[in-house]
Amino acid sequence: MGEPKPPVPAGEERVAIESEHLAAIVRSSDDAILSKDRNAIITSWNDAAERLYGYTPDEAVGKSVAIIIPPERRGEELEIVERIFSGERIEHYETERIRKDGVRIAVSLRASPVHSPDGEVVGVSTQARDISSTQEALRLAEQRLEGTFEGAPIGIAVVSVEGGSYGRLQQVNSEMTRLLGYTEEELYAMRPDEITHPDDATAERALFDELVAGRRSSFGIEKRNRHKDGHWIWVSLTVSLLEGANPARVAVAHVFDITGRKRAEAELERTRQNLERSNAELDQFAYVASHDLKEPLILLSAYARMLGERYADQIDDEGRTFIAHVREEAGRMKTMIDDLLDYSRVETRAEEPVRVELAEPLGTALRTLAPLIEESGARIDVQGPLPVVEGSPAQFERLFRNLIGNAIKFRGDAPPTVTIAVEEAGDDCVVSVADNGIGIDPAKTQRIFDVFQRLHSQDQYAGTGMGLAICKRIVERHGGRIWVEPRPEGGSVFKFAVPG
Ligand code: ADP
């Protein structure tokens, strides 16, 4: 801070210092800088010039600049010298030079006049930069671009834009010719809209108009194109505009064959419609079953009752037992029909999914089962907070009711204990209902989830064999799965996994 400033040099001394600075800049420049006089004799030559052309300053200074100029470029050089002497500067031009070892190099040049102290032009200074590597890089980039264009797994086409519409195809890659079945030459004589399906033409036209009007920078559409052999192929097309230097604008189209996907989508749609139809049929069947089948059943039961009452004195004990069986079986059949109806309604009467805190349907199920829980002396243990899932609260209530009901129904000699717990498994949450009951033969664990499948007779344990089939349908409708595992200490653990 307290350093005294060096005295400001004045006059000639300052000029000498400045030219010393300039000389240092020229010497250390990365550009090859040389100067020559009016007769094209080299008067200065920096280190970069030596590196670029291969001549030392001693070899170059005093020689004609012709030593580095290809013979066919000498006229051009003379003209440039002329122009500089008449006061012009030449900012940038690309030409060729020859190195001492005879190799030609591409250079970018600037030329400017050298003035004498009194302002007269006495020479030309040129500054050169080797652009051989840039040109090589450009050539490689072009080659790579060409390779990418040709080798691309999607069809690429360049198409001219004439009067706001598609003009002719100007360039296509081989995938495009494969996709459409035409040769390159055939395509160059065509306009893209000639092979567009009439039903897709209007939509594409509207998008193209918006593109040309500058309201969008690109557009995408799924449409049909006619293959040369006449069949239609589905493609996903993306089009964007390239503003060329030429007045005509060009568009670039990327085309991707989606025929396979469209076919699969159509197949899926057909399957969905079939499923909807069979669901509707099932619903219809369930409706018919509930009304038309239940009515004769009720009558059957009523007639059996009347038979027992009216002819009481003519029927013996065995007859009364038979009548009781008829009424029981009629009642069981009615329950089976109701269960089948419930099974069909899991799909057909499904309401929109909502957020379900599983603790709520569980609570409702436990309240419904309260008489059974009390009568059996069952202990119910709910471990940890239950998760929140998406779905139908009524169906989750049914799921818990069936699983906990079974856990109590299929009890052994010990008082029933039912444990409801939760575990995380990736994105799914797994809820388990474990019991200390009679357990299940591992060979039969798949069967029990099928419609009307039971492992026990009516007189052992009452039921229709529909409970677990309904559970499975509910869980699968929620995007999950259900299974059973043996409990190591005896009993079974039913588990269901649903997206959490
Ligand atoms: P249902 O209970 O009406 O028989 P389900 O579909 O609910 O019909 O069950 C099918 C069969 O699976 C039952 O008959 C029974 O044999 C077996 N099962 C279901 N739950 C249990 C359980 N917790 N413990 C032992 N066996 C079971």
8 falls in which pLDDT band (50, 70, 90)?
Answer: low
Residue, of 103 and 500, whose pLDDT is higher: 103
233 falls in which pLDDT band (50, 70, 90)?
Answer: very high
Report the mean per-residue pLDDT for the chain.
89
**Range in 21-35, 60-74, 455-469 the model is least confident about:** 21-35
For 159-191, what is each residue's pLDDT tens digit? 988 888 888 999 999 999 999 999 999 999 999
**Range in 3-12, 235-244, 428-437 the model is least confident about:** 3-12
Phi then psi for residue 434, to 5 deg, are -105, 140
3-class DSSP state of 258: coil
Residue 189 burial by CB count (10 A; 0-12/13-18/19+): exposed, middle or buried?
exposed
Residue 428 above 90 pLDDT? Answer: no
Q: What is the atom index within ligand 1 of the atom nearest the CA of 465?
A: 8
According to the model, what pLDDT value does residue 407 have? 97
Average pLDDT of the segment spanning 83-108: 89
Residue, of 347 and 338, whose pLDDT is higher: 338
Token readout for 51 is 């590196």
Which one of 435, 444, 448 would you pick to mutate in the ligand 1 pocket, going by the greatest count of ligand atoms within 8 A of its CB? 448
Average pLDDT of the segment spanning 441-457: 89
Pocket of ligand 1 (CB under 6 A): 402, 406-407, 410, 435, 437-438, 440, 448, 453-456, 463-469, 492
Nearest CA to ligand 1 atom 13: 454
Rounded Cα gap, residues 359 and 393, in angstroms? 10
90 falls in which pLDDT band (50, 70, 90)?
Answer: confident
Token readout for 162 is 């004439």
For 41-69, what is each residue's pLDDT tens digit? 999 999 999 999 999 999 999 999 999 99
Which one of 346, 468, 475, 494 would you pick to mutate in the ligand 1 pocket, going by the greatest count of ligand atoms within 8 A of its CB? 468
CA 468 to ligand 1 center in whole angstroms: 7
151 falls in which pLDDT band (50, 70, 90)?
Answer: confident
Residue 32 above 80 pLDDT? Answer: yes
CA 361 to ligand 1 center in whole angstroms: 21
Phi then psi for residue 203, to 5 deg, are -65, -40
Residue 11 above 80 pLDDT? Answer: no
Rounded Cα gap, residues 216 and 210, in angstroms? 6
The partner residues of 126 in beta bridges, in order of sequence, read 34, 111
141 falls in which pLDDT band (50, 70, 90)?
Answer: confident
According to the model, what pLDDT value does residue 67 have? 94
3-class DSSP state of 64: strand
For 254-284, what is each residue's pLDDT tens digit? 999 999 999 999 999 999 999 888 878 877 8
According to the model, what pLDDT value does residue 286 have? 78
Residue 411 above 60 pLDDT? Answer: yes
Residue 10 above 80 pLDDT? Answer: no
At 264, which helix (H) or strand (E)?
helix 259-288
Q: In what order do the strands lie in the sheet with 481-486?
A: 379-382, 417-425, 428-435, 492-499, 481-486
Nearest CA to ligand 1 atom 8: 465
Average pLDDT of the segment spanning 146-164: 88
| Distances in whole angstroms, Cα of residue 174 to Cα of each of 145, 149, 194 | 14, 9, 20
Residue 2 above 60 pLDDT? Answer: no
According to the model, what pLDDT value does residue 403 have? 98
Q: What is the atom index within ligand 1 of the atom nearest the CA of 402?
A: 7
Nearest CA to ligand 1 atom 19: 406
CA 402 to ligand 1 center in whole angstroms: 9
Rounded Cα gap, residues 338 and 342, in angstroms? 6
Contact 402, 435 (CB under 8 A): no
CA 350 to ligand 1 center in whole angstroms: 25
According to the model, what pLDDT value does residue 424 have? 79
Residue 330 above 60 pLDDT? Answer: yes
Q: Please identify which residue in the block is written with the tokens 């499904």.
A: 350
Residue 18 above 70 pLDDT? Answer: no
For 102-112, what is each residue's pLDDT tens digit? 999 999 999 99
Residue 447 above 60 pLDDT? Answer: yes
**Residue 171: CA count within 13 A, CB half-sphere:** 9
Average pLDDT of the segment spanning 335-348: 85
Nearest CA to ligand 1 atom 21: 406
245 falls in which pLDDT band (50, 70, 90)?
Answer: very low
345 falls in which pLDDT band (50, 70, 90)?
Answer: confident
According to the model, what pLDDT value does residue 5 have? 52
| Distances in whole angstroms, Cα of residue 201 to Cα of each of 193, 197, 367, 498 | 7, 6, 63, 45
Residue 357 above 90 pLDDT? Answer: yes
Q: Give percent of the chain with pLDDT exceeding 90.
A: 60
Instruction: Count Cβ atoms below 10 Å from residue 362 Cβ, excluding itself.
Output: 22
Q: What is the atom index within ligand 1 of the atom nearest the CA of 466?
A: 6
Q: What is the atom index within ligand 1 of the atom nearest the CA of 339?
A: 3
Average pLDDT of the segment spanning 314-323: 93
Q: What is the atom index within ligand 1 of the atom nearest the CA of 453?
A: 10
Rounded Cα gap, residues 117 and 486, in angstroms? 106
